Amino acid sequence: MFGIPGKQAVTITPRAAAQIARLMASGGSKGLRIGVKKGGCAGMEYTMDYVAEIDPLDEVVEQDGARVMIAPMAQMFLFGTEIDYEVSLLESGFKFRNPNVADACGCGESIKFKDIDELQAEQAGK
């Protein structure tokens, strides 16, 4: 697993924690697994899935009754991300504030990450 001892991989705002806890309770899931996959016009997309079992390789973050698991292949790309839940007149949904994103498409659904070497250097404090 990728991480820094004593630091959570992601942070969850109180609004996001409340929404995740509600979804867990209504769906009977163990939590919400987040990851990334290839796709979209900028190259990558976030994934979110309810899970019945926790993968032993997942990074698990728990807060206020909410549980988020980070898929192993996504841990480096999501480290330092803040997960929020926003409600507006037109839409509601989870928002990711990710310091590892170099660019995003106009619709906000697709992202491009910084170069791997750049991410490793930043996260190692170099």
Overall pTM surpassing 0.85 (yes/no): no
Query: Which domains occur in the chain, in start order?
Result: 10-123 (2.60.300.12)
Query: What's residue 1's pLDDT?
Result: 46
pLDDT digits (tens, 9 = 90+) for 33-68: 999 888 766 577 888 999 999 999 999 999 999 999
Residues contacting residue 16 through CB under 8 Å, at least 6 positions apart: 66, 83, 84, 85, 94
pLDDT digits (tens, 9 = 90+) for 67-95: 999 988 888 888 888 999 999 888 888 98
Query: What's residue 120's pLDDT?
Result: 64
Is residue 74 within 8 A of residue 6, CB to CB? The reply is no
Between CA 112 and CA 94 the distance in angstroms is 18
Query: What's residue 84's pLDDT?
Result: 95
